[in-house]
Structure 1
């Protein structure tokens, strides 16, 4: 399966998640491209079978500024026939824990993308715990 992982990261956690997921999917036989959200044109998504998006949550449950241009384009793109999933870190001390995952998942669904598995949210965990959760998440993505 031809997979794109689009992500944005501030502290490096989302990038760690994206890289771990990419490595695991490659081990499972998938072809994977990984791109920062500020370096991709949404039209490129159409050449992939599977779309994975990773983002941290900013402020009181908003998408980060670095993702907004990409997000606004996705909202106007037909993704019918594509599969996808979303992942991202959060902090459970906030009312809207890792809400970017929910926003992005709903947006993919609304554009016709079939969500393969529930979004992966991690909460101030060690890198090893995050990597372990990402490997489990990756295995759910291979259909």
Structure 2
């Protein structure tokens, strides 16, 4: 399965999540491209079987300013038939915890993506074994869903 993981990260938390997702998907036999969303041509998303988009939440529940242009371009793209999953980091000290992940999900749905039902939201950085495992399980579940329940190829 040709997979894209795109993220934006300020303090490295969302990037850490993206790297765990990539490692897990590579173990399953996926071809994975991992890129910072600031450098991505939005039209390239059509070339993938499954896309993972992730961001930290900025301010009062906003997308980070670094990806505003990316998401504006995304809103003009038809991604019907592309499978997608959403992830991100946040801080529960703010009232709209990980709201950027919800914005990503809505945007992908509006563009025709078949979006995975669950979203991965981590408080700050995936440092504990539990949080790392949550990231791994998310990647495995999305992989199985995108492959219509096929068994994972890794041990």
TM range (shorter): over 0.9
Contact 2:80 2:112 in 1 (8 A): yes
Q: CA deviation at 1:72?
A: 0.7
Q: Is the alpha carbon distance of 1:109 and 1:138 closer, same or farther for their aligned partners in structure 2, counting shifts above 3 Å?
A: same
Greater C-alpha radius of gyration: 2
Residues 1:88 and 2:83 are matched in the alignment:
no
Structure 2: gaps (5+ residues): 148-155
Q: Which runs of 4+ in 1 moved over 2 A?
A: none
Residues 1:138 and 2:139 are matched in the alignment:
yes
Distance 1:43 1:17 in 2: 24
Q: CA RMSD in A?
A: 1.1
Q: Is the alpha carbon distance of 1:14 and 1:126 closer, same or farther for their aligned partners in structure 2, counting shifts above 3 Å?
A: closer
| Count of residue pairs the alignment pairs up | 143
Stretch of structure 1 that moved more, 30-39 or 114-123: 114-123
Distance 2:57 2:124 in 1: 13
Q: CA deviation at 1:140?
A: 0.8
Structure 1: gaps (5+ residues): none
Q: CA deviation at 1:127?
A: 1.3
Distance 1:32 1:125 in 2: 22
| TM-score when normalising by structure 1 | 0.95
Contact 1:117 1:141 in 2 (8 A): no
Aligned residue in 2 for 1:56? 56
| TM-score when normalising by structure 2 | 0.88
